[in-house]
Structure 1
């Protein structure tokens, strides 16, 4: 066999082998829990546009960064952020050591199970509960506490484990992006240490790709064992303006896709999608999950104390962000039965 012909056979065979996965992927529905409507078509079109090598908008793999909010975007968040419920359980479990909490807000309302009272203390009060739930524990003690809680605690309305209240359509989207060589990050107002406990098992996102509200820590040797101690001091509030800062610090690249569900995600969506100048022509996609399904989940937006969606929804049309209507766009909400 002539060398030239041998080379030709090699490259033809290699091209065929490389094309097989794409052919197989094309024959399956990557988003089976999405109705075949505008949202699904727009997502698939975007991914194809930036991943096909002959596309003028092809984006190299290294730049395929996607950032996802967690609460309300990947799992439910009503009637209170799930980490908030965890913190309340922790406060109740340790209340015997703090008699002063009986007369001090937000602890008084938390111990009484008065959610309206807790919310009346505002973001500062809720943050106080979250920080208190962390303070003084070692990193390993905190991880084990979260593992125990998330494997047993159930939602008061659905009766499901909190880890079962993830959105099936969003799990499919995460997998679809990874199949197209996106690197997926969680960027959430929730605590980074809280999310890292379950993010890999539930979402397939490893701990090093989780960005969240960060509590300070110190190092010490305890009985000869290197130990990290959580101090309860806030380092980064990864919400609103804090999200782009968290992305900048931890990733070092602007995402080309960002997904959120509330005004707390507005700045992340702006940071991801707004072009810097005329040379900034990289295709970018902003997604907003709009909670419109009171039967299968909850319906809320502008008037909600949790997951308020007002400014971001108003800006979506101008920015051409994709607003996903949960009721219209999803054939199912949870992997299992739900509300």
Structure 2
């Protein structure tokens, strides 16, 4: 009986030791830096201890938690919505930009730049209630797949980053998304994909209009009062929605630089900064100075080395990119 108990205890200890919360990460300097910072931040009595009420950490979304190439998920949704709604709007065929969307003419769409994008977003992100918009996003997610990987978009969150979110929450940190993506679009997916509730998602937004109806009340989406939550606007949004400075920031592009700078200057904590560097063309994409869509990373790499932020080399530091049970990816030679 005594031997049986000892054996069971040893098996239990072995199982505990084998349970790695960051199992999708290779044992590299990046992983060790994350673990060391968390251990130091949660060690009572140490100079680096961060009280639980101060453990706010912020994550960019596009390119940090899910892919942003060749198009961000939200832009792809907008293009697909134009195609879906086109039969109800025959007049769109006479519009060069909308006609290009329906034909898949990416060159004409790209030439329309920011003005053209805002026109597409106005047609697909306003004029409906918030509930109707949420339903459209949910239906799009279940009916469309990424053309390269053949997976549904809600299956394409980065597995190493999802594990990192869980790891931080298990150690008492509160995880927030601070992204240039649309706040309503991300809130439909954040709980399922990342375990982040809608109230901890901050993104670009415009004002909705309230009205009374026969059935109660509603909010209708408009393009009024638009706020673009990118670059230097991210610290502004953090202050507005969170009310305190984060102790860690995670991004992937120069658009996240102000958020990392704002976090690094927190006078009350030993902070942590991390940038995901897209270096894996076989399993995802490889880019920095010439991104296929958004997400240029040039100044961020320079400042990361100067300030001691962690640079994650996707190719070297991640064992997997997506959860193989949800999105099995065969690397492209």
Report the TM-score, using the length of structure 2 for normalisation: 0.89
Structure 1 partner of 2:119: 128
What SS does the corresponding residue of 1:265 show, helix, strand or coil?
A: helix
> Are the counterparts in 2 of residues 263 and 308 from structure 1 also a CA contact under 8 Å?
yes
1:302 corresponds to which residue?
289
1:27 offset after TM fit, Å?
A: 6.6
Cα root mean square deviation, aligned: 1.9
Residue 327 in structure 1 maps to residue 315 in structure 2: yes
Structure 2 CA distance, aligned partners of 1:62 and 1:34?
28
Gaps of 5+ in 2: 1-14
**Structure 1 position 281, deviation (Å):** 5.3
**Structure 1: how far apart are the matches of 2:323 and 2:221?**
34
Counterparts of 1:39-188 in structure 2, within 5 Å, are: 39-104=30-95, 106-188=97-179
Q: 1:256 aligns with which of 247, 250, 268?
A: 247
Matched with 1:18 is: none
> Map of 1:212-291 to 2, 5 A cutoff?
212-274=203-265, 280=267, 282-291=269-278
What CA distance in whole angstroms lies between the structure 2 residues aligned with 1:111 and 1:127? 17
Q: Is the 8 A contact 1:187 1:210 kept in 2?
A: yes
- Secondary structure of the 1:40 match is helix
The separation in 2 between residues aligned to 1:230 and 1:79, in whole angstroms, is: 27
Q: What does the per-residue CA deviation read over 1:57-79, in whole Å, with 9 as the maximum and x for residues that have no partner?
A: 11111110111111110011111
Structure 1 SS opposite 2:259: helix
Does residue 194 (structure 1) correspond to residue 185 (structure 2)? The answer is: yes
Judged with a 3 Å threshold, the aligned counterparts in structure 2 of structure 1 residues 106 and 60 are, in CA distance, closer, same or farther, namely farther
Cα–Cα, structure 1 residues 25 and 173, in superposed 2: closer, same or farther, change >3 Å?
A: farther
User: What secondary structure does 2:177 align onto?
Assistant: strand
CA shift digits 1:71-104 (9 cap, x unpaired) = 1100111110011010011111222444453344
Give how far 1:264 is off.
1.3
The number of equivalent residue pairs is: 313
Q: Distance in 1 between matches of 2:217 and 2:26?
A: 51
Distance 1:285 1:198 in 2: 26
CA distance in 2, matches of 1:55, 1:27: 27
1:248 to 1:181, Cα distance in 2 relative to 1, 3 A: same
Residue equivalent to 1:16? none
Instruction: Give the 3 Å change call, closer, same or farther, for CA 234–313 of structure 1 in structure 2.
Output: farther
Aligned to 2:199, the other structure's residue is in SS state: helix
**Contact kept? 1:73, 1:289, Cα under 8 Å:** yes
Q: Distance in 2 between matches of 1:316 and 1:236?
A: 27
User: How far off its partner does 1:120 sit?
Assistant: 2.3
Shift in alpha-carbon separation, 1:208–1:76, aligned structure 2, 3 A: same
Once residues 307 and 176 of structure 1 are traced to their aligned partners in structure 2, the CA distance between those partners, rounded to angstroms, is 26
Residue 200 of structure 2: which of 209, 221, 236 is its match?
Answer: 209
| Cα shift at 1:225 | 1.8
User: What is the TM-score normalised by the length of structure 1?
Assistant: 0.88
Q: Aligned with 1:143: secondary structure?
A: helix
Change (3 A) 1:31 1:59: same
Q: Deviations over 1:168-192 (max 9, x none)?
A: 0001000000001100001111110
Structure 1 gap segments, 5+ residues each: 1-23
Q: CA deviation at 1:117?
A: 2.4
